[in-house]
Structure 1
Amino acid sequence: MQWLVNIDVPDLDAAITFYTQALDLRLSRRLFDGDVAELLGGPAPLYLLHNPAGSTACVGDERDYRRHWTPLHLDFVVDDLPAACDRALAAGARSEGAIRGEVWGRIATFADPFGHGFCLLQWQGRGYAEVS
């Protein structure tokens, strides 16, 4: 099985800039007449899909890029959490709290410029295995 990660965005060029600067990903190619950008540099390709605000997202729902909660979000594991936080903020992320320490490591929560939440994690010891 292969995983693909897709993120809807209202402004594809701004999203390419954000995700390449914030997370050190690189643009591999543009697909589907330029409406999709493939970013590489992580364990799975990340696809940015241009879908304007107000376009149909699913039956009875329209895309809204204000900050929103969703039960699905991405965590990015980094080697240097403070440096990764600085990089994300410089690229346009919004911090949603201070760095927190946990048994398994440290975590910082953010929103991207398009309303999607994400976390930056730095493992300590064996990561999540520390709690098993």
Structure 2
Amino acid sequence: MDFLVNIDVDNLASAEAFYTRAFGLTPGRRFAADGVELLGGPAPIYLLVKPSGTSATPQVRDRRDYRQHWTPVHLDWVVDDLDAALDRAVAAGARVEQAPATHAWGRIALLADPFGHGFCLLQFLGRGYDEIADT
């Protein structure tokens, strides 16, 4: 089974600039003014233009809001060098929500992209999550 990642944005050019600069992704297919495919990660990422205030379907009461927010589902970017990745993401326009912290499994920093989507940068140390796994 494959999966792909969709990220709603209200400005395609700005989103493409951020994700290509912050994570080294490259544009793939373009879908007119409605979206772009980004390649270079373990799964394709699709940036989809969705205006603020719209909903996914008429049955969904919640509306898209590009203010700062965290959802239960977000992206964790696994990196070899957290400090370098953090510098690159901030230079591309990310906001630091929580400075890097070290845990038994590795290091983590919490950020938000320019569209308010929360994401984490992870650098595994030692055996990574196996350092804390029960089995």
Q: TM-score range by the shorter chain?
A: over 0.9
Shift of 1:72: 0.6
Q: Which runs of 4+ in 1 moved over 6 A?
A: none
Please name the residue that 2:79 is paired with: 78
Identical pairs, percent: 63
Shift of 1:76: 0.2
State the TM-score, normalizing by the size of structure 1.
0.95
List runs of 5+ in structure 1 lacking aligned partners: none
How big is each residue's C-alpha offset from its partner over 1:82-101, in whole Å with a ceiling of 9 and x where there is no partner?
A: 00000000000000121100
Counterpart-to-counterpart distance in 2, 1:35 and 1:13: 11
Counterpart-to-counterpart distance in 2, 1:62 and 1:96: 23
Please name the residue that 2:2 is paired with: 2
> What residue identity is the alignment partner of 1:116?
H
Shift of 1:57: 2.9
Counterpart-to-counterpart distance in 1, 2:83 and 2:20: 18
The equivalences for 1:62-101 within 5 A come to 62-101=63-102
Q: Secondary structure at the match of 1:62?
A: coil
Counterpart-to-counterpart distance in 1, 2:55 and 2:125: 42
Shift of 1:34: 3.1
> What residue identity is the alignment partner of 1:62?
R
List runs of 5+ in structure 2 lacking aligned partners: none
State the TM-score, normalizing by the size of structure 2.
0.93
